[in-house]
Structure 1
């Protein structure tokens, strides 16, 4: 059944809407706490000092614009560049055209999406506008890297971010309310003919849209959301913005946890991102928005969820994978003396490297493509282009998950939540990436993870889990050892399993899960010797200098909440109690002595698996994963 609400106005910038928006901006700015003055390197000034509004200038704000020590009021535009041909043809600034932009240009010369943004600024008395295509010199790599590193400040410093879900390209505006004309002929009197003109009236048939559950929709190809919701760059632009004016089927305002939907009388408060009072989601219907991401920004333990959501987004250039979320990364690690290494947080490296590709997201980013072992190794040995090291989620072209099960029936590693106590299980780890000095959170040209830990060759007996093409169980004789998830999912083709190895990264403990393992242990140890499997062997070691290192500490547990019973308490009840072990699956690279990450494993304390039963007591060795 469709959900119903009030209709939008004939034009988004009608007098009623503009009056409301101006009042909201005044009220929000009056409530705002003082913040440090920030001004982008360049801004588009709308109009001149003589009152002419039909001309724009690219300006470099000087001391005269900041003389009152208050932040300069400007709006930022968040939009889709569109297909490559549209992006190439759009109005932009390059080194050759920079003088022309400074000397002045008319709005009608610009791309339609920018033209509409200028109209919005005029209506709301905002004199300055930031648009990436014009305010960044597009063919100057140094300028591009420097400015892309400022996205946090640019979007958080804007008095307003104009978001454009109804525009799929820079060549499409967002202010025109689209209508549909339907011809008809009467079935009663065939001479009666005419037409209906239809436009959106706020009725949404999909209950997920009505509830604002857009994360679910983004995961399916039939999503009704526009391209703006699916693009990589727009993800952080929305997340970083303090105040959003979103042009969807209806106008939606999200100003620092207060929201308004077109034709509502007043804004409503949203407490800590939750729906309050009568249900904020009702007022978000039809506006293509329903999630409060502005205002209080604190990724905290939600970094992994942020990466999961972002990794599902699309990018025209794969090399933008890290730059397009550099602003979010800066917010995550700033102030804590933290290092950020190609999408991996230094202090959480033992958890952040444990990611898995979502099924059927391929090397080429095709949601239906399967990835073979050969294509995976080829893409790692000769990446075109290079995006990130093999151990970083950023190198995968498609959606990734943390807390994902290498065993599809619940045998997962809860790295994303606080349900388990985690400990590092390596002796030492050193991580290095090469990033630009102007943007350490952006694109990298190389990286290495050198680890001293237990490295175990893949055992000969592997059994594929029924119904899954990349989930396996490894056995030693008849005894279970580990669940394995490979980064490829093409079941056909030869795979040299004997060249694969397991690298121990960490351990975790959860009493409830341990009890499940104990219940299943006897049954699994009685499995038939004749289960199908493939053989495996062992290889490799390496050495390289690093810029960051730390020693492993099995007592350094980073749990956010304790399990039902601590491991020590469990030992008092069961002297055979053991921790869960997890880590990476690696394969030799063409570069001698180096390896690629090609999967993950988790070893339950059942059968012959677990930290103590299978891994402890073995000699450690040092390998380099690139």
Structure 2
């Protein structure tokens, strides 16, 4: 017999149920044992929060867990070993606050709120998870670390096989690729069947691998048709520098040897698994960056970095080990930390067992609302989705195989499917926030919306070298430029859309230390502009956001691009902004537009300037009331978002690049007299009932009888500019923030024009 909910049958007991294991638990951990009674409770409520489980311990050694483990508690031993394992170290490397909490001595940690949760992730299928919440004494922040997934009986879904490329998986992938080849014509767009990279790894010999040059394959005996042979591409994480230094690489010194044979001895696990997967899928070649780009050769690196749109765009398949945290970790064998618990029936006797497996915590704020589907879980609990270089590798690929901790997945530009499931999920624009493989439909307004989604997601990625953020997006910029050849790529944005794309702002980010945000003008900004990218570019900032624009104005109607709806990007209308600049000129340093090479346009941002003629006003600090912090995301530490009033009437919202609200009392107010407000755009503002809570101002705007906002009462959007020289004799300015003003009180587009003057300014 079994208990059924949402069409999913739980095999709770019966003659086939395994015998319960011999597990010893302390009195505290005995509360964690799942029984049939709790499963029935979860079937009705979705969760079971365990009462009474609580323990306080201190980092970094967790002595109380150690003492309990030495006294025989298997779960305390498992929990301590997990917290001390490299699984936590990798999260700590990426989020300094977690490293400080779990690795520095003396921090008191409260383990509490243990519980099981049952979540529907697909029709008739459930995800059952076990979690322990940990509170840090110093800040009160709550971190889900670790998150433990229930896998063995009861089984809401099939437990993942230890072999990530078993025979059934191989069959699943081959069939998915064949379906895509046969029915997804749009997935072939942009994939050049005649292209081969400069170098590839030849895996046809079962006993050896070697590096081959692409032109020898096409022009030599290896060519069997007019089309180039198929090749796979690998998208993976090198890991921390200590691991990356151990990576097998092609250099000027050993390229001759690699063209003869690449030694398997010393090859990191991730490369060995990639070679095996390529062979299993029947593909003769694979492109791997560390072997196919000459490492340490700047000229070769720049040449190859500029052709990534072709390398990944023309690959037959891209392999993605989402569960591999570095080059030293393989991905074809799943063996996470786990513990087996006894399972009890209603009469209290053991009736079987279940296994709790460790999965990495979901530490990115942007992912807290993703569904509990294995595809989403595998992405957000891994390192691959957090690294900067892997973003464009996925975005440029026509299709990918993702080897996750929970399952193996196939994803193309039209749809995705997970091993063990029959349903294909169509790809949409909204998925770009989670997974950047571009949908098959890219045209018109959808290009602009897609780019803003890309910027928002890409800017949350991590780089070992932050300056790589420019090069790691160049291939994707190439791809977009091929779709909008008459446009210009301007330091991470597009010339035709600068009136909107310049309005980026820094949103919430877990890694921000607000103590550094106490200046209108960051003292390091002039040097960064001189050496790297202009102040108006987002390219070296983190956690960029455009959502506030969508929340503030009424949308335009979507274009009818003739799509058949299969793989369509989005049906959500984009916000309608009107360009209010009078003239905007983009300038490259020392070259006219025709003289600059294509590579320079996509790889070099230094020295670019914008000369804008438009409506400009001084910021009226002398007349303004003390600003109010805007808790726009309903969280405590928004800090960068403020609201201003004049004599109690609404004036505008400001979003600073470098100024935290907590620094208001100690900053030099005289700096505000140098600020300029430059108008860029306007849009039909939403009524007070339509504006999101953080954006809403007291409503006294002009509303027509039918409830629509009158055309003259538009919301204004613009930039805050700070002169490079205090009195701005040279007319050049740094960007230091954005502002938007609703048509309420003393705000709005029309009111701004009343006190603005026309000026020409240069943004550096």
**TM-score, normalising length from structure 1?**
0.76
Q: Which residue of 1 aligns with 2:195?
A: 38
Match 2:304 to one of 123, 127, 147? 147
Higher relative contact order (CA 8 A, sep 6+): 1
After TM superposition, the structure 1 stretch with the greater mean CA deviation from structure 2, 441-450 or 479-488, is: 479-488
CA contact (8 A) 1:155 1:241 kept: yes
Q: Which residue of 1 aligns with 2:395?
A: 239
Tell me the CA shift for residue 486 of structure 1. Answer: 1.4
After TM superposition, the structure 1 stretch with the greater mean CA deviation from structure 2, 74-83 or 508-517, is: 508-517
CA contact (8 A) 2:612 2:760 kept: yes
Q: Which residue of 2 aligns with 1:107?
A: 264
Aligned equivalents of 2:639 and 2:491: distance in 1?
29
Deviations 1:400-426 (A, max 9, x none): 1013279xxx76797997465422222
Q: Which residue of 2 aligns with 1:76?
A: 233
Q: Which residue of 2 aligns with 1:12?
A: 164
Aligned equivalents of 1:619 and 1:231: distance in 2?
45
Tell me the CA shift for residue 72 of structure 1. Answer: 2.2
Match 1:61 to one of 215, 229, 241? 215
Give the 3-state SS of the residue equivalent to 1:114 in structure 2: helix
Q: How does 1:462-477 map to 2 (within 5 A)?
A: 462=624, 463-466=626-629, 469-475=639-645
Q: Which residue of 2 aligns with 1:481?
A: 651
Tell me the CA shift for residue 212 of structure 1. Answer: 6.3
Deviations 1:415-457 (A, max 9, x none): 9974654222221111234686435323422211111112211
Aligned equivalents of 1:176 and 1:419: distance in 2?
44
Aligned equivalents of 1:486 and 1:233: distance in 2?
28
Q: Which residue of 1 aligns with 2:605?
A: 444
Distance 1:373 1:454, change over 3 A: farther
1:96 pairs with 2:269: no
Match 2:512 to one of 361, 367, 374? 367
Q: Which residue of 1 aligns with 2:480?
A: 332
Distance 1:169 1:68, change over 3 A: same
Q: Which residue of 2 aligns with 1:553?
A: none
Q: Which residue of 2 aligns with 1:557?
A: none
Aligned equivalents of 1:385 and 1:348: distance in 2?
25
Deviations 1:284-335 (A, max 9, x none): xxxxx99694662535222211211111111111111122222322333323
CA contact (8 A) 2:208 2:261 kept: no
**Structure 2 unmatched ranges of 5 or more:** 1-116, 119-126, 128-155, 344-352, 363-367, 559-571, 590-595, 631-637
Give the 3-state SS of the residue equivalent to 1:498 in structure 2: helix
Q: How does 1:249-398 map to 2 (within 5 A)?
A: 249=405, 250-264=407-421, 268-273=423-428, 293=437, 296=440, 298=442, 300=447, 301-336=449-484, 337-360=486-509, 366-374=511-519, 377-383=522-528, 386-396=531-541, 398=542
Q: Which residue of 1 aligns with 2:545?
A: 401
Deviations 1:80-115 (A, max 9, x none): 011122223311122222222222213333222111
CA contact (8 A) 2:578 2:683 kept: yes
1:581 pairs with 2:716: yes
Q: Which residue of 2 aligns with 1:603?
A: 741
Aligned equivalents of 1:204 and 1:487: distance in 2?
29
Aligned equivalents of 1:515 and 1:46: distance in 2?
58
Aligned equivalents of 2:617 and 2:230: distance in 1?
59
Aligned equivalents of 2:168 and 2:529: distance in 1?
52
Tell me the CA shift for residue 594 of structure 1. Answer: 1.8
CA contact (8 A) 2:172 2:419 kept: no
Distance 1:589 1:85, change over 3 A: farther
Match 1:248 to one of 391, 395, 404? 404
Q: Which residue of 1 aligns with 2:564?
A: none
1:430 pairs with 2:585: yes
Give the 3-state SS of the residue equivalent to 1:89 in structure 2: coil
Deviations 1:188-220 (A, max 9, x none): xxxxxxxx9958699999994524694xx89xx
Distance 1:203 1:604, change over 3 A: closer
Distance 1:616 1:328, change over 3 A: farther
Q: Which residue of 2 aligns with 1:612?
A: 750
Distance 1:197 1:433, change over 3 A: farther
Aligned equivalents of 2:748 and 2:237: distance in 1?
48
Aligned equivalents of 1:108 and 1:46: distance in 2?
16
Give the 3-state SS of the residue equivalent to 2:759 in structure 1: strand
Aligned equivalents of 1:154 and 1:413: distance in 2?
40
Q: Which residue of 2 aligns with 1:531?
A: none
Aligned equivalents of 1:356 and 1:412: distance in 2?
16
1:227 pairs with 2:383: yes
Give the 3-state SS of the residue equivalent to 1:438 in structure 2: helix
Match 1:138 to one of 284, 290, 295? 295
Deviations 1:552-595 (A, max 9, x none): xxxxxxxxxxxx9988xx36xxxxx4322221001122595421
What is the RMSD computed on CA atoms of the aligned residues?
4.0
CA contact (8 A) 1:403 1:413 kept: no
CA contact (8 A) 2:521 2:658 kept: yes
CA contact (8 A) 2:338 2:357 kept: no
CA contact (8 A) 1:464 1:473 kept: yes
CA contact (8 A) 2:520 2:656 kept: no
Give the 3-state SS of the residue equivalent to 2:483 in structure 1: coil
Distance 1:421 1:405, change over 3 A: closer
Give the 3-state SS of the residue equivalent to 1:441 in structure 2: helix
CA contact (8 A) 1:318 1:387 kept: no
CA contact (8 A) 1:484 1:602 kept: yes
Q: Which residue of 2 aligns with 1:25?
A: 177
Distance 1:311 1:5, change over 3 A: same
CA contact (8 A) 2:309 2:476 kept: yes
CA contact (8 A) 1:181 1:197 kept: no
Q: Which residue of 2 aligns with 1:623?
A: 761
Tell me the CA shift for residue 480 of structure 1. Answer: 4.0
CA contact (8 A) 2:688 2:697 kept: no
CA contact (8 A) 2:650 2:697 kept: no
Give the 3-state SS of the residue equivalent to 1:445 in structure 2: coil
Distance 1:110 1:411, change over 3 A: same
Q: How does 1:164-183 map to 2 (within 5 A)?
A: 164-180=321-337, 182=339
Distance 1:358 1:519, change over 3 A: closer
CA contact (8 A) 1:387 1:394 kept: no
